[in-house]
Chains A and B, each alone.
Chain A
Amino acid sequence: DARVTQTPRHKVTEMGQEVTMRCQPILGHNTVFWYRQTMMQGLELLAYFRNRAPLDDSGMPKDRFSAEMPDATLATLKIQPSEPRDSAVYFCASASSYPEQYFGPGTRLTVT
């Protein structure tokens, strides 16, 4: 049963620290997404890639967030430096054809 995997599942860190979240998309899926979900803002698209190339990162705070796909089996989302307002659940999703996106279980980030 193919699924998107994310690590870590939970992360607690102090303000100012670097945070790296990882995602393994479903094998063969060429489109990968990063989302953030909070109670206040809901689910927001941060960035997405197709064939490892960034297509859109307009939802991502550029000064502290960065997203990459070093290879087809790994996507990373990095926050440096982290701030308390970054506390949220971060989801990765992947897709092979429109419209269905397959979401991972999420990384719950708490920045103190």
Chain B
Amino acid sequence: SQKIEQNSEALNIQEGKTATLTCNYTNYSPAYLQWYRQDPGRGPVFLLLIRENEKEKRKERLKVTFDTTLKQSLFHITASQPADSATYLCALDERGDYKLSFGAGTTVTVRA
């Protein structure tokens, strides 16, 4: 079965810096890879999707890359702000049928 690994430790960064999160998977390359944000006590919120034939996707201060050779996605938050502090989850969708497999998440704390 697919194993998904995200940064094993929490990420603490200074405001204004770039946070880089990794999502590695072991088996098949999914058709789609998604990133979600989750705040304490709340449900996840969809951020971005990248397709297997796309190398990079951007949305405002967020950038996602997808390398099917390395079996890895990188998630960047540029010009980070304290409001970006949250847990970020990557999720793989093998066929684009909503059946998501989630990573454990990486907790990001941005210091003012």
Contacts and interface: CB of A to CB of B under 8 A. Distances in A.
A31 B45 contact: no
Q: What range describes how many residues of B lie at the interface? A: 20 to 34
B45 A98 contact: no
Contact of A43 (B46, B89, B98): B89
A35 B1 CA distance: 19
A33 interface: yes
A102 B46 CA distance: 7
A99 B102 contact: no
Nearest to B105: A42
A32 to B, nearest CB: 10
B34 interface: yes
Contacts of B82: none
Interface of B: 32, 34, 41-46, 49, 89, 93, 96, 98-105
Going nearest first, the 3 A-B pairs with the smallest beta carbon separation are: A103-B43, A43-B102, A100-B46
